Chain A
Amino acid sequence: DQQVKQNSPSLSVQEGRISILNCDYTNSMFDYFLWYKKYPAEGPTFLISISSIKDKNEDGRFTVFLNKSAKHLSLHIVPSQPGDSAVYFCAAEGSGGSNYKLTFGKGTLLTVNP
């Protein structure tokens, strides 16, 4: 049962344009959402997060939007740069003490073409 879904395995965007990566989740207990970026031969690195009490969080070129009613979040990158080419993982966690775990989607490979 996949609780965090990234339905687009890949996305190709032109440099300077907007990249929109989507993520859906099924578990209503999730209350904190994160995006990680992963380059080849490296571990994932944290990019941006959002709490369920917010619907938007912005950090420079990166903005994450959360639609709780639709159980959907998206990551917007604008303007996109070739260095943004990487795999992006959406992740979610819920409060729960001993049941805590961060659940990841399968990732979306973003390619930004010069």
Chain B
Amino acid sequence: DSGVTQTPKHLITATGQRVTLRCSPRSGDLSVYWYQQSLDQGLQFLIQYYNGEERAKGNILERFSAQQFPDLHSELNLSSLELGDSALYFCASSELLTGELFFGEGSRLTVL
């Protein structure tokens, strides 16, 4: 158990819909990261937050947005969903801006 909690574990929805994925970081960790793992792809970095502020952005689509709340949990919002958005979405946390990441078990999104 990494201490990072992601909900929901599985989600099935239709194209055009919007979903929200939730992440609670390890206690004491200030940094939260979101990664996407599609079929045959590695972990693609989406976005990083540190203590409520966006710190780094990767290959995140404009249809996607994220935020980190004062209690340090984070949400990843995916809208106007397309079939290609079906993937595993991982949240990870770390104490500081760098170093070892601790990953959640992932949220598997299926868009039909």
Measured CB to CB, the residues of A under 8 A from B are 4, 6, 32, 34, 36, 41-46, 49, 89, 91, 93, 95, 97-107
B98 with A105: CB separation less than 8 A: no
Partner of B97, one of A36, A100, A105: A100
Chain B residue with Cβ nearest A47: B100
Mark each residue of chain B from 43 to 79: 1 if its CB lies under 8 Å from any CB of chain A, else 0.
1110010000001101000000000000000000000
Number of residue pairs across A and B with beta carbons under 8 Å? 60
* A residues near B43, Cβ cutoff 8 Å: 44, 89, 91, 104
Q: Per DSSP, are chain A's interface residues mostly helix, strand or loop, or mixed?
A: mixed
A45-B103 contact in complex given A32-B98, A102-B33, A104-B45, C-beta closer than 8 Å: yes
* B residues near A34, Cβ cutoff 8 Å: 100
Measured between C-beta atoms, what is the minimum distance from A89 to chain B in Å?
6
A14 to B22, CA, bound (A): 40
* B residues near A97, Cβ cutoff 8 Å: 97
* A residues near B101, Cβ cutoff 8 Å: 36, 44, 46, 102
Q: How many residues of B contact A (CB 8 A)?
A: 25
A101-B48 contact in complex given A43-B2, A43-B4, A43-B90, C-beta closer than 8 Å: yes
29 residue pairs bridging A and B, Cβ less than 8 Å apart: A4-B42, A32-B98, A36-B103, A41-B105, A43-B2, A43-B4, A43-B103, A43-B104, A43-B106, A45-B2, A45-B102, A45-B103, A46-B100, A46-B101, A89-B42, A89-B43, A93-B98, A95-B98, A99-B56, A100-B55, A100-B97, A101-B33, A101-B58, A102-B45, A102-B101, A104-B35, A104-B45, A106-B40, A107-B42
The 8 nearest A-B residue pairs measured at CB: A43-B103, A106-B42, A104-B43, A104-B42, A46-B100, A101-B56, A101-B45, A44-B103
Measured between C-beta atoms, what is the minimum distance from B42 to chain A in Å?
4
* B residues near A44, Cβ cutoff 8 Å: 43, 90, 101, 103
A45 to B97, CA, bound (A): 18
